[in-house]
């Protein structure tokens, strides 16, 4: 192991090269995801809505319910949802 100024150069190079390979893989995966969205759009699916579903599926059930409850509350407060509007306090 080459030590330059207190830095293990070989170890550092190994980390950098591993990160570079992972970045390349990440770019390839991002391109694959983009292709899947394009395919879905071509088949009539709304990509924006699909992205929202993906975000929701990442949440824990309790967090998802809390988010949906708050969204409903805000929509009702603005008169954008079915049901009685919220009273001004």
The chain-wide mean pLDDT, for the chain, equals: 91
> What confidence tens digit (pLDDT) does each residue in 42-80 have?
999 999 999 999 999 999 999 999 999 999 999 999 989
Q: How confident is the model at residue 7 (pLDDT cuts 50, 70, 90)?
A: confident
Q: Radius of gyration over alpha carbons of the chain, in Å?
A: 24
Q: How far is 23 from 4, CA to CA, in rounded Å? A: 26
pTM of the predicted model over 0.85:
no
Per-residue pLDDT for 36 more than 80? yes
Q: What is the DSSP string of 41-78?
A: HHTT--HHHHHHHHHHHHS-HHHHHHHHHHHHHHHHHT
Per-residue pLDDT for 14 more than 90? yes
């Amino acid at each position: 192991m080459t030590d330059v100024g207190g830095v293990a150069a070989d170890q550092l190079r190994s980390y950098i090269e591993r990160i570079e390979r992972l970045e390349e893989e990440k770019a390839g995966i991002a391109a694959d995801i983009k292709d899947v969205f394009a395919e879905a759009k071509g088949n009539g699916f709304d990509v924006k809505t699909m992205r929202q579903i993906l975000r929701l599926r990442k949440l824990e059930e309790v967090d998802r319910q809390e988010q949906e409850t708050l969204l409903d509350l805000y929509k009702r407060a603005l008169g954008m949802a079915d049901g009685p509007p919220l009273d001004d306090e």
